[in-house]
Amino acid sequence: MSLLKKSRRYSVFYFLASLCLVAPLAAQTYSKEQLEELAVSYVYDQLDPATADDKQLNALSLDSRIPDRSCENAPSYTIPTEPPFNRQITVQIKCDDLNGWSQYVHVRMIELSPVIVASENLSRGEVIEAHHLSLVMKPKHFVRAQYLQDEELLIGSRSKRNIRSGYPVALNQICMVCKGDNVTIFATIRGLKIKTSGLALEDGTLGEQVKVKNAKSGKVLNARVDGVESVQVII
């Protein structure tokens, strides 16, 4: 190859390279949905990692009249408050290029709480087993005091009514001690613990008082349910 051809070849290369250096970067275009997602992601990153999974974040839909936004630089984000946040957080997304713009996005935060739900339909009187249950996160303001969070407490109990799949299992829907069940009675007498057997005369669930009949003495006792087919008596 001649020196002239080489010189022309290198000249073209340097010319194209110089164009790449001076040409502006292609602007990134953000739709309303993308701006909402960016705001949610930013708020999530500000949360305490230990409790972030207990939060549900949703952006309020932006006005349909807002056009798509373009920015040559990476947008910046600002929140006027610091964690812990209230139920609604306002995020300012800002572009600092020549055609700068600012967009506010409102993000709603919902506290979640674990709840045990039926993973399949349960019939009245059915003994609850592990495969009948699953743990899901529900909005905390919908969670009632009778909803349970520990699957182990329910295994072996019996449903008192039909429970539909996907619905929470509440204490008033089950009996841990059911009328006619053979139960274990734990009695405490002057600090001494005694274990015996008996018969449940009433239905009861965790913490409730039920009448039980001592199998040996025949005596009827008031006892507190402390587990599946288990009661406590303090004498």
pLDDT tens-digit profile of 27-55?
899 999 999 999 999 999 999 999 898 99
Banded pLDDT at 171 (limits 50, 70, 90): confident
CA angle 219, 158, 142 (to 5 degrees): 120
Q: Average pLDDT in the 102-112 region?
A: 96
- Kindly state whether residues 120 and 143 are assigned to the same domain: yes
- Kindly state whether residues 186 and 158 are assigned to the same domain: no
Distance of CA 69 to the CA centre of its chain: 33
pLDDT tens-digit profile of 176-229?
999 999 999 998 887 788 899 999 999 998 889 999 999 999 999 999 999 999
- Kindly state whether residues 38 and 96 are assigned to the same domain: yes
CA angle 80, 84, 90 (to 5 degrees): 35
- Kindly state whether residues 131 and 141 are assigned to the same domain: yes
> For residue 134, what are the domain limits?
113-175
